[in-house]
Amino acid sequence: MFDFFWNLGSFIVALGILITAHEYGHFWVARRCGIKVERFSIGFGKTLWRKVGKDGTEYVIAMLPLGGYVKMLDERVEDVPDELKDQAFNRKTVWQRIAVVSAGPIANFLFAIVALYIMYMIGVSSLKPVIDTTRANTPAAQIQLQEPMQIVSVSGQKVRNWEEVNLALVSHIGGTELDISLMPLSLSAQNTSAQEQAQVTTYQLDIRNWQFDPDKESPITAMGLGIYRPGIEPIIALVTKGSAAEMAGLALGDEILEINRQPYQDWNGFVDVIQTSADKDVELTVLRENKQKTIIVTPQAQTNANGETIGVVGVSPTQIDWPESMRFQLEYGIVDSFTAAADKTWQLVVVSFKMIGKLFTGDVSVKNLSGPISIAQGAGTSADYGLVYFLGFIALISVNLGIINLMPLPVLDGGHLLYYFIEVITGKPVPEKVQDIGFRFGAAMLLLLMSVALFNDFSRL
């Protein structure tokens, strides 16, 4: 229950910030164009807070935080006194109207830069993207590894952590090939001059048959790249409450010595035995306070993502700390943070547009669309990790909000812009009847997309 309210609260905060940024873009440019703004509202429905400013604008916070609007004086909507007609939206030039409408999405992109700027100023704890294995029958199978290697670029795009690798790989969905450049981890830990002299090996991967389900795996593992992880000690670090392990008497600090009277080899082997022993007794020999103890545990049967029945006991091992050579703080100075933030925002914009295009070509399934439930979960998870991760999350959502609003659907900003650019070309406004038909079509399409996204959300629960 706490997770639900935490996710909901994080979602409301994130959405409220993004809507405010978007609507303020419309508001600010409208005022600069001499348009009278009657109401600036964050949310819909019943008014929770209201204030009338010295400028005559009514500022409102409403109950439903699922959107917002800027109500401008407009003769198409209501009667306007003669003395105020020069402040009406419809009386402004087509380029002024274009500026007002496009200001919302642009404000979202600018906000993303600001959020990322603060994030880079604070600094983000990151891990170098190091691989130590590749999987057979995948695009990465041709890469031969003799030692852990760090990914330094993907198709010429420099990558510094796993997030950047993930973003670079996603942009190649539906493509035919990509280049991946690797450098020995031992060399990446040295100084900059040594890195420049290091031998970088580049592999060209055939990705024509590369597909992945984002609900089951990441593009990194689907590519066949084995993420390097430090070793695991067979010492129990977590026992889930109410689990088979707790009921059997396993405790924190127990060291696993034997499984069914066979010596412990590695954690993967232990997991294999547990998963294939659903509702069957498994005999464990553990070391507790320098004394050996035999415990019988019965893994509980569960169904995994593939519909298979597996056994689960509810324990986690002790993870060895990441080597210092692999950890770094991704942060910049006052000037460089802005450059990095602008570059990252541009990358997000490009990848997002590519994903929309791939939805239409079929390279990306509509099953990948996410709605408010997934966004709320993402908001809660990122807030759990701290401010810098929450900033990164809302920057991503802000970019997506800006792009969605630029889609040429008449109910969105992009639809209005489409009509205005037609007016620029033809020299006269699009007929009201045509606009009305377009708005109905746009509303139906938007409702369809929202329905698909919500269906996907519920199917993931």
Residues designated as active site:
23
Could you tell me the CA-to-CA distances from 6 to 48, 149, 286, 379, 390 in Å, in that order? 22, 39, 38, 9, 13
Neighbours of 65 (CB within 10 A): 19
Query: 314 — alpha (psi -120 to 50), left (phi > 0) or beta?
Result: left
Q: Which residue matches tokens 């990848």? A: 351
Dihedral, 167, 171, 174, 179 alpha carbons, nearest 10? -90
Give the contacts of 379 (CB within 8 A, at least 6 positions apart): 7, 10, 11, 13, 14, 390, 393, 394
Strand 201-206 to 177-184 pairing = antiparallel
Q: Are 394 and 18 in contact (CB under 8 A)?
A: yes
Q: How is residue 329 written in tokens?
A: 């703080």
Total number of residues shown for the chain: 461
CA–CA distance, 413 with 403 (Å, rounded to integer): 10
Largest CA distance in the chain: 93
321: which residues sit within 8 A by CB, 6+ positions away? 230
